[in-house]
Amino acid sequence: MKYLDVNGLRGARIGVPRDGYFGYSPKADAVVNQAIDALRNAGATIVDPVKIPNFDRTTLNAAEITVLLYEFKAGVNAYLASVAPGAQVRTLDDVIQFNKRNARENLPYFGQELLERAQAKGDLTEAEYLEALEKCRRLAGKEGFDAIVDEQNLDALVAPTTTPAWPVDLVNGDQFRGSSAKSAALVGYPLVSVPAGAAMGLPVGITFMGRAWSEPTLIKLAYAFEQATKARRAPQYLDALP
C-alpha cells in the first residue's frame, strides 16, 4: 500500500506502549501495526516500545473503579435533573427502581449491578472519592503518562482502540478484552480515535493519546494519518459478515 507524505506527521515523535495495549487481539494488532508503518512512512519518528509506569499497578486499578462509581452516579444525577418536568426518572435511584418494577422488559438477560454499586456511593466531597481521584491523577498522570512522555520527548502515543466488534452473547456477556483508554482516561487526558483498517469486514481504530491540553497536536496527527491512509470505509450495514 502506498502512503502519501503528509507534513502533519513529519518530525512527530510517537510512542507505542506495547504492554497492556497490544496482545489481547491479534487482528487489531495486525491492523494497527500496519498503521504504525504508515505513520513512519509519512515522516513520524516511532519510539517502539515504550512502557507507561504504573499501568498495571493494583492500587491504581482499585482507585479507578472507585472514581468511576462516584462520578457515574454524580453525572447521571446531574443529567437527569435537567430533563423535562414530569419525566419518570430524575435520579440514578429512580432508574434502578424503574428497572426493578419492569424487570421482565428491562432486565431479561443482565442485571444492573454497576448501577447499584454506584448508587451506594456518596457525593463527590467524600474522602474515599477524593483520595482515589488524587491517586489516579498522580500515578496515572505525573508518575505514569507524563513520565514516559517527558523521558522520550513524545508528541503522542498510539495503540489499538479496541478489538473488532464482537457478536452479542446472552450467555457470556460482552467479550471485552482491552482498549486504549486506560492511562489517559484515568487522569483526564485527551484521546482521538480514527479508523485504521478492518479485520474480516469489521472496523479497527487507532487511538492517539496525549497529555493535558494536547488536543491541537492530537487532532493534527490524527487528521494527517487519515489523509495519509484513507483507511475509513463507509458502513455497509451487512446482514452477515463474509
pTM value is 0.86
How much is the pLDDT for 6?
A: 55
- Flag whether pLDDT at 27 surpasses 90: yes
Which three cell numbers, joined as nine digits, stand for 144? 505514569
- β-sheet bridge partners, residue 208: 158, 192
Residue 31 contacts by C-beta under 8 Å, 6 or more apart in sequence?
A: 160, 196, 197, 198, 199, 204, 206
Which of 208, 164, 236 is closest to 44 using CA atoms?
Answer: 208
pLDDT digits (tens, 9 = 90+) for 135-151: 999 999 999 999 999 99
Tell which wins on pLDDT, 168 or 122: 122
Angle CA 161–57–182, to nearest 5: 20
